[in-house]
Amino acid sequence: MQNGGFDVIVIGGGPGGYTAAAKASALGGKAAVVERSALGGTCLNLGCIPTKTLLKSTEVLESVKKAKDFGVDISEVKVSPEKILNRKQGIIKRLNTGVEFLMKSHNITVFRGEGKVTGVDEVTVTTPSEQIVLKTRNIIIATGSRPAAIPGLEPDGHWIMNSDQALMLTSIPEKLLIIGGGAIGVEFASIYRKLGAQVTLVEAMDRILPFADREVSDALKQLMAREKIVVLTESKVAGIQKSAEGLLVNVETPKGLKEIQTDKVLVAVGRRPEYEGLGLPEIGVTVEKGKIAVNSKMETNIPGIYAIGDVTGGILLAHVASAEGTVAAVNAMGGQKHMNYKVVPSCIYTSPELASVGLSEEQAVSRGLKIVIGKSQFTGSGKALAMGENKGLVKIVAEAVSGKILGVHILGAQATSLISEAALAINLGAAVNDIADTIHAHPSLPETLLEAAEEAVKLIDREKNDPISKL
């Protein structure tokens, strides 16, 4: 069966894919999306949304446990994994419906099946009952990623899990060992620990979240230790033995071999671009180092074929995929738009949350920049104290002379919301005095940004020997 006449066909219905299709339609194009499973991709179905839903359940649990501190007596606290799971699935279903409505409202045709690029202007969709050949002027590949595996530690759905399987919790293991101290690993460590599991986190690097500002990631590690999460850095799993009691895991640490008894192992070592079976080698699309090569316009080496999101192996974040989808769609419809990665917030939904944007202190120093560091602690925030969430800090990295904000790093309550002010400031080229001179509501958590900015301004003024700083 042949179906033709599309301006843009997007393979993959995740945040990047459906955003690209909607943008192409808004620009007057006839667009289609090919999706083999549920719309919304990994983010909606197996990533961002379900993990944050589980994290909210654990936050409620923590609040209930601490209720007496707020003058509220609660006699019994029980966790129902089944109800938590049902709530998660309900939210996913509701958002799936929302994406479907978005497609309908933009007159985007959705084809359910496996998509394959069978020509520079052709996509073949395979369904259980037929093959449909679609003709198009442009193709956008948005097939996302899959959980990375470790040879010899492949998920079996029982003893060893990947991040997808860890979301389908029907019971809480007494003991859980997590391999990988990146965003996925630390978020699951937070989730399962608050649900009652004894958690051990194993990371090969010398610290967790190696992409984050070191001071902030070290502070998070300390807070995790207070929650009795065992974090083993510079360590690797050397072997696993099954026994009647569960699993015996041998971990190579800087202090020697350590044997750890656990019920389950979660492999959380990141994700890998998923492009196999798309027919890319046959049409000559360049794949380098396990990812589809693109330029700043999200173009592959083949005219009219674009790639966006995780499949390009860049920054594996849903909001980045959406931005790339917009760029690809504009260019597919005849525009000239380039992707700008200068301001990309990174959010880690632990407890407390960690969020960053711009340069870390280490990155700024490595570039030879003369900087100042402005800090404030959540312990000094009236709002944080009232909330019972007074752990963490705000750190601003700024140029020493101009005060231009280079990076902001927040560990604390609602950090993933607070980071938006910082992202806007960097995008506008603002200096620390711009934040310091802006009236912030009191009492509020954004005051922590204000105080960090004021600290940075003082340091800059002292270097200039400005008499105002002495007042």
Give the CATH architecture of domain 6-146+272-333.
Answer: 3-Layer(bba) Sandwich (3.50)
180 is in an annotated binding site: yes
**Residues 108, 9: Cα–Cα separation, whole Å:** 10
Kind of pairing, strands 271-273 and 145-147?
antiparallel
Amino acid at 339: M
Annotated ligand binding at 182? The verdict is yes
CA distance 119 to 215: 50
pLDDT on residue 469? 47
The pair phi, psi for residue 192, each rounded to 5°, is -70, -30
Q: Where are the domains of the chain?
A: 6-146+272-333, 160-269, 345-465
Question: Nearest 5 degrees, angle CA 101-CA 102-CA 103?
Answer: 90
Q: Is 270 annotated as a binding residue?
A: yes
Q: What is the pLDDT of residues 72-113, one digit of tens each?
A: 988 888 889 899 999 999 999 999 999 999 999 999 999 999
- Label the pairing between strands 31-35 and 109-112: parallel
Alpha-carbon span 123 to 100, nearest angstrom = 21
**Parts of the chain with a pLDDT under 50:** 1, 469-471
CATH 3.40.630.30 at 345-465, yes or no: no
Residue 78 CA neighbour count, 13 Å, CB half: 4
CA distance 340 to 4: 33
Active site residue 442: yes
The answer to whether 143 is a known ligand-binding residue is yes
Query: From the candidates 106, 319, 338, 442, which is the catalytic residue?
Result: 442
Q: Is 383 annotated as a binding residue?
A: no
The pair of three-digit structure tokens given for residue 241, joined into one six-digit string: 């033995």
Phi then psi dihedrals of residue 125, to 5 deg:
-105, 125
Q: Rounded to an integer, what distance in angstroms lies between the CA atom of residue 421 and that of residue 413? A: 15
User: Does 255 carry a binding-site annotation?
Assistant: no
267 is an annotated ligand-binding site residue: no
pLDDT for res 190: 95
Q: How far apart are CA 225 and CA 189, in angstroms?
A: 11
Q: What is the DSSP letter of 299?
A: B
Domains 6-146+272-333 and 345-465 share a fold: no
CATH superfamily assigned to domain 160-269: FAD/NAD(P)-binding domain (3.50.50.60)
